[in-house]
Amino acid sequence: MLTNIIAEDKIIKTKKLIDNSQKITILTHISPDGDALGSSLGLYWFLRGMDKDVNIVVPNKFPEFLAWMPGSEHIVVALDDNAAAERTIADAEMLFYLDFNTLNRINWLKNAAAESKKPKVLIDHHPEPDIECDVCISYPKISSTSELIFRFIYRLGELQAITLNIAECIYTGMMTDTGNFSFNSQSPEIYLIINELLKIGINKDEIFNKVFSTYSVDRMRLMGYCLSKKMKIYPEQRASLIYLTLAECEQYNFQMGDSEGFVNMPFSIKDIDISILARQDKDKIKISFRSQGSFPANKMAEEFKGGGHLNAAGGESYFSMKKTIGMLEEAIRNRKKYEE
């Protein structure tokens, strides 16, 4: 059914590590998104089905619109109880790193993870991983880490072990990391996987509504404000920039996840193929880069301490909003240098 993308030796070694471990901890990145949670919870339920003692640790809270996902109530959030999070990492007999390619992405938990001498397996789809681990399952051409989790289970010959809980989590991760299959989703094999998940019993329409149709009134008003007051268009460069200050976010009672999807909205404008969202946090400005077609959003993100995929990347700035906007506009004006 599926191409055997994951090398056989990696499957065999990971299976042996799982068999030799009882207490397993899964780590994913700061500000967990749908793919981070989908892949982590999908693997969580699969390992639970093997009678393993499994925990998931995340640095900080995840958006409320993902809290419906089965098992999310068991996730250890370091920002709520850092001692418990570090203890869960230290007590593990095996660690899985999911959906990140550098330990900096787990922020203050990186020391606890690096200090562990237990076996570590990385499963991720971001380019150029720089994490020391026993097994590195990294395939940047795959649409999501959740897709890799499905492929991992499939390569183990355990397709029949995918329960409804696992299927819902994997589908959520695949859906959110492709903008509901609107980008980075041309591979026919993605839809073979979805077919299998549908046969297991997922209700994809219900999952879509749980993720994308449960926003607050404040979030909707913030979106309107962004489109009417905070979106700049650069016709010659076919680019868009949306920026939000901390004060503006607070005005609309901003909650984690409220700006999810904002960066993709300008693509509804004819000819726009680059979109950038800059949102000020308490200690930095978070920047999302998106593109359509062949423009390398990840190359532009590298100028802002970031990186990612061809069409989806992230970065950050520690300058003022005014200076950051100036830097972003300079990058937009020089789009041709990123295309060389």
Q: What is the pLDDT of residues 119-135, one digit of tens each?
A: 999 999 999 999 999 99
Name the β-bridge partners of 77.
58
Q: What is the pLDDT of residues 282-295, one digit of tens each?
A: 999 999 999 999 99
**DSSP secondary structure, 207-267, as one string:** HHHHHHS---HHHHHHHHHHHHHSEEEEGGGTEEEEEE-HHHHHHTT--TTTTTTGGGGGG
Of 184, 211, 238, the residue that ends a domain is 211
Residue 340 is predicted with a pLDDT of 84
Q: How confident is the model at residue 102 (pLDDT cuts 50, 70, 90)?
A: very high
Judging by beta carbons within 10 Å of its beta carbon (0-12, 13-18, 19+), is residue 331 exposed, middle or buried? buried
Q: What is the pLDDT of residues 3-31, one digit of tens each?
A: 999 999 999 999 999 999 999 999 999 99
Residue 20 is predicted with a pLDDT of 98
Radius of gyration for the alpha carbons in the chain, expressed in angstroms and rounded = 20
Check if the beta carbon of residue 124 is closer than 8 Å to that of residue 97: yes
Q: Are residues 199 and 248 in the same domain?
A: no
Of 164, 190, 211, the residue that ends a domain is 211
For residue 318, the enclosing domain spans: 217-339
CATH of the domain at 296: 3.10.310.30
Reported pTM: 0.91
Write out the H or E segment, with its range, that includes residue 285.
Answer: strand 285-291
Check if the beta carbon of residue 30 is closer than 8 Å to that of residue 1: no
CA–CA dist 178, 166 (Å, integer): 19
CATH of the domain at 164: 3.90.1640.10
Of 191, 211, 231, the residue that ends a domain is 211
Q: Are residues 189 and 230 in the same domain?
A: no
Average pLDDT taken over every residue of the chain:
96
Q: Are residues 207 and 236 in the same domain?
A: no
Give helix 188-200 / helix 204-212 axis angle, nearest 10°. 100
Q: What is the pLDDT of residues 199-222, one digit of tens each?
A: 999 999 999 999 999 989 999 999
The dihedral built from the CA positions of residue 267, 269, 270 and 273, taken in this order, carries a sign that is negative
Find where tokens 């506009």 sit. Answer: 329
- 3-class SS of residue 11: helix
In a domain, 102, yes or no: yes
Residue 308 is predicted with a pLDDT of 86
In a domain, 92, yes or no: yes
Residue 183 is predicted with a pLDDT of 86
Residue 162 is predicted with a pLDDT of 98
Q: What is the pLDDT of residues 273-282, one digit of tens each?
A: 999 999 999 9
